[in-house]
Structure 1
Amino acid sequence: MEKLPIAVAIPTKNEAENITTTVRSVVDHFESVVVVDSDSTDDTRALAEKAGAEVLPYVWDGRYPKKKQWCLEHVRPERDWLLFLDGDETPSPELLAELRRIFTVPPGRAVRPAAFDVPLGYWFGGRRLRHGHTIVKRALLDRTRSRFPEPDDLAAPGMGEQEGHYQPLVDEGATVARLRSPIEHRDLDPVRTWFDRHNRYSDWEAWLEHHPEVREQIRRAKTRQGQLFHRAPFKPLMSFGYAYVFRRGFLDGRAGLDYALAMSFYRWQIGLKARELRQAERAADAPPFSAPR
């Protein structure tokens, strides 16, 4: 079978639990599969190589570009197209078939969009969510017409080497298309790791609430749905109502309820941490207290 003319980039750090499955899901279908690893302390690198991937080390220098933009610039630059997968993600068979239809083009004819948004099949609590989760990732990019934003958030906690929760941008006049078939995001790590990650993410989100000019930069790099939610009031309640009621997450059983509650708690964390930052700033600006004589 002819391989797709696409390089796959898999950014990792301590993904030994998942990486073999991820690499095996793509190694026979794409021209290149490259794991970009940030000094894992487990067997991520050895397992990725054994499964057939090339492994590149990555060390962040504290500035831009961050990790995904670095991948755009350094992972198999001879290929225009790059597919990003997390270390716990696999393309569905339907997605592989859809990509073959798109990229089987006559010589001299280019794929028109500069990027593709891909729906995410999400697993939570051991069950695939069919209703309450609707994330779409801009995961397939023509590197000659796409780039990741560089907002002024280097001083923010929580994200480190990772780009924040925003989409890569395409050149002015270029188009973005949406694929029908999903990437499957199935994390085999304990659920506590989900809470650990989102605790860090909420630090970043709370910092943004405290820096509205940077928050606005990031809002412009989100999907239309993300931009609308960015401005919504009562986010914990809105998040729960959207996932569990509007998107009918209740049809996913206990996993749907757990996920809706977890996302609502995440939004609550952001709000609480943002209020704490504002209180700390007011306290720092207040005149020193002096007792009456």
Structure 2
Amino acid sequence: MDKLPVVVAIPTRNEARNIAGTVRSVIGHFAHVVVVDSGSTDDTRALAEAEGAEVVPYTWDGRYPKKKQWCLDHVHPEVDWVLFLDGDETPSEELLREIRRVFTPPPGRTVRPAAFDIPLGYWFAGRRLRHGYTIVKRVLLDRTRCRFPEPDDLAAPGMGEQEGHYQPLAPTAVRLAAPLEHRDLDPVRTWFERHNRYSDWEAWLEGRPRVREQIRQAKTRQGRLFHRAPLKPLVSFAYAYVYRRGFLDGRAGFDYALAMSFYRWQIGLKAREAADPPGAGTGSGARGRR
């Protein structure tokens, strides 16, 4: 079987639980499989190399480009197409066949879109959700025509070397049908730890409308609409659990909808705290009024 003319880039840090399965799912299918590692202190690098991946170290300098754009700029730049995978993601067999069809066009035709959006098969607390979410990631990119935005968020907490929750910019994009499976083998507490950091970033944006609008423009249509929705915790729960029929996933569907609602509540609470810090108004002026 011929290898596809695509570089698989897997940004990692401490993904020892997941990385072997991720590399194993793509090795042999693509021209290059490269783990771009940010100083893992576990066995991520050794496990990736044992499965046949290249391992490239990465250290963020605190400026743009961040990690994924750095991959577009530096990881096998002789190959135009890049597929980004998280360290806990694996393409389904259907997705591998679909990508192979994309890169095996009929005679006289070429790959026209600049990017492909891929739906996520989402696992939460060890269960594969069938309903209740709509996550689509723009992860298959022609690096000559796509670039990650550079909003003015370098001072924001929560993200660090990672690009934020926005899509890479592409002049044209097509959605594929088959899913990319996001199956995190870490305990569910790590989901909450990550989303606690992410909510720091989101709350920081709430107090900076100009930067928030920069990021809104780089989101999907659904993301742009939700960005402006009122009562986000309630809207989030109703959308996931009722409208998207998360209740059909049983307890897992309820837990996921509640967790996402809690995440939205965190963002609002942190944003309100930043706008009106604890202790404000209790200085000398307040004492003088007693």
Q: TM-score range by the shorter chain?
A: over 0.9
TM (norm. structure 1) is 0.96
Structure-to-structure mapping, 1:1-293, within 5 angstroms = 1-105=1-105, 109-170=109-170, 174-280=171-277, 283=280, 288-291=285-288
> Distance between the aligned counterparts of 1:138 and 1:281, measured in 2?
40
Q: Which amino acid aligns with 2:207?
A: H
Residue deviations 1:234-281 (CA, integer Å, cap 9, x gap): 000000000000000000111000000000000000000000000029
3-state SS of 2:28 partner: coil
Displacement of 1:126 after TM fit?
Answer: 1.2
Q: Which amino acid aligns with 1:52?
A: G
How many pairs does the alignment contain? 290
Gapped regions of structure 1 (runs ≥ 5): none
Q: Which amino acid aligns with 1:72?
A: L
Displacement of 1:283 after TM fit?
Answer: 2.9
Q: Which amino acid aligns with 2:242?
A: V
> Distance between the aligned counterparts of 1:152 and 1:281, measured in 2?
27
Q: Which amino acid aligns with 1:234?
A: L
The Cα RMSD (Å) is: 1.7
Displacement of 1:282 after TM fit?
Answer: 9.7
Displacement of 1:175 after TM fit?
Answer: 1.3
Gapped regions of structure 2 (runs ≥ 5): none
> Distance between the aligned counterparts of 2:284 and 2:113, measured in 1?
57
> Distance between the aligned counterparts of 1:78 and 1:67, measured in 2?
19
> Distance between the aligned counterparts of 1:273 and 1:238, measured in 2?
18
Q: Which amino acid aligns with 1:199?
A: N
Displacement of 1:288 after TM fit?
Answer: 3.8
> Distance between the aligned counterparts of 1:193 and 1:168, measured in 2?
26
TM (norm. structure 2) is 0.97
Displacement of 1:43 after TM fit?
Answer: 0.3
Residue deviations 1:57-86 (CA, integer Å, cap 9, x gap): 000000000000000001110100000000
Aligned-residue identity in percent: 78
3-state SS of 1:206 partner: helix
3-state SS of 1:101 partner: helix
> Distance between the aligned counterparts of 2:289 and 2:68, measured in 1?
58
Displacement of 1:127 after TM fit?
Answer: 1.0
3-state SS of 1:137 partner: strand
> Distance between the aligned counterparts of 2:192 and 2:5, measured in 1?
37
> Distance between the aligned counterparts of 1:208 and 1:244, measured in 2?
27
> Distance between the aligned counterparts of 1:288 and 1:101, measured in 2?
70
Q: Which amino acid aligns with 1:200?
A: R
